[in-house]
Amino acid sequence: MEIRKGELKDLDILTEFTSNVAFETEGKRLDPETARRGVRTVLENPKKGVYYVAEIDGKAVGCLMINLQWVDWQEIYNYYIQSVYTHKDYRGRGVFKSLYHYVYNEAKENSASLRLYADSDNLRAIEVYKRLGMSVADFRFFDVEFAFTS
């Protein structure tokens, strides 16, 4: 398995993966053009985030995205992991584990912390994160969401 940074050539597959993440984790159907523009924005502007792609035999089989959050009182960055996806045919084969270790090493080299949001009902993912050495943080997540209003 090879891990690399996402590139513009990955636009279609990353848009597909992003749409799959939204549906599988939150039951949300994304507007395909909006998702495509959002992925393109990240690929063209690394300040917005960075995609990492896992490939097996040259085929993209998984991804994750990180974005940076500056923590003023610690003078560090948090690497927030999001848009985690592994193609159904490749689950259970260490795809996320490989992506995670790649980003973990990068964050460690940059003296950053590593965080992610997991839906409390996504027990399978939570167990994976724990096995990789992550711990549950005592934070509550709050939001005001305008993109998916009814």
Query: Is there a domain that residue 150 lies in?
Result: no
Here the tokens at position 125 are 């993912």
Query: Is there a domain that residue 6 lies in?
Result: yes
| pLDDT higher than threshold 90 for residue 143 | no
Structural domain total, the chain: 1
Q: Give residue 118's domain range.
A: 2-131
- Give the number of C-alpha atoms closer than 13 A to the C-alpha of residue 104, restricted to the C-beta side: 10
Query: Is there a domain that residue 60 lies in?
Result: yes
Rounded CA separation 131/135 (Å)? 9
Q: What is the CATH number of the domain that holds 112?
A: 3.40.630.30
More confident residue, 144 or 99: 99
Query: Is there a domain that residue 36 lies in?
Result: yes
Q: How confident is the model over 45-86, as pLDDT tens digits?
A: 999 999 999 999 999 999 999 999 999 998 989 999 999 999
**β-sheet bridge partners, residue 51:** 65
- pLDDT given at position 3: 98
Query: Is there a domain that residue 98 lies in?
Result: yes
**74 Cα distance to chain centroid:** 23
| pLDDT higher than threshold 80 for residue 97 | yes
Residue with tokens 């584990």, as numbered in its chain: 97
- pLDDT given at position 105: 96
Angle at CA of residue 12, ends 147 and 68, nearest 5°: 55
Mean pLDDT of the chain: 91
Query: Is there a domain that residue 136 lies in?
Result: no
Rounded CA separation 4/15 (Å)? 17
Q: How far apart are the first and last CA of the chain?
A: 41
What is the reported pTM?
0.88
